[in-house]
Amino acid sequence: MRPWLFLATALLLPGAAAAGQDVSLGATAVILTNGGAYNVADPRLGLEAAYAYELGPWRLGGGLRWLPAGPGSLPLEVYARALLSTRLGVWRPAVGPELGLSGAPVVIPPRGGFPEDHSQQQTEQLGPAYLALHAEPLRFAFRRFTVSALALQWGTSLSAPGASLRLQLGLVHLGVSL
């Protein structure tokens, strides 16, 4: 099912689901690297569709990211997150862990001076699973609608913690409460 269909359903059917749930669509930029000077990748721009369920101060949910630009045969990520949130007027900041699987490669082929199987060896050490700290300091709710800008994320691969770095900037997310 397409992400825009979730948002359209939420806008057209306001009473379709219980309160405390929301869906959002957004744009994001992800940087993946294993620290080698030869393979720091440029930011990969992508789209994100997310779902969250509010349970007291917690926002439990997950989503999909599509990162079309750059190398990789499967430019998708799927993730789950548990964010601790607070309400201060319309401001709804949130922070917490994110666990995900990424099809975006951390290792890109080196240029000159390295053995041909060098990137394959590094790829085998770094699996697709990652753990990250996700923060949304600029998240606001206006009645049924939410807006988040400049969300930050910092993480690493689970198969070799610290061997890779994942940085993400959530550019903007627009959501609606169901």
Cα–Cα distance for residue pair 147/25, rounded to 1 Å:
10
Interval 2-32: pLDDT, tens: 544 444 444 434 433 345 899 999 999 988 7
pLDDT in tens, 53-99: 999 999 999 999 998 866 666 789 999 999 999 999 999 999 999 99
How crowded is residue 21: how many other Cβ atoms within 10 Å of its Cβ?
16
Measured distance CA(4)–CA(10) in Å, rounded = 10
Closest to 46 in 3D by CA, of 5, 107, 119, 102: 102
- pTM for the model stands at 0.79
Q: Beta strands 44-55 and 58-66: pairing type?
A: antiparallel
Instruction: Judge whether residue 125 has pLDDT over 90.
Output: no
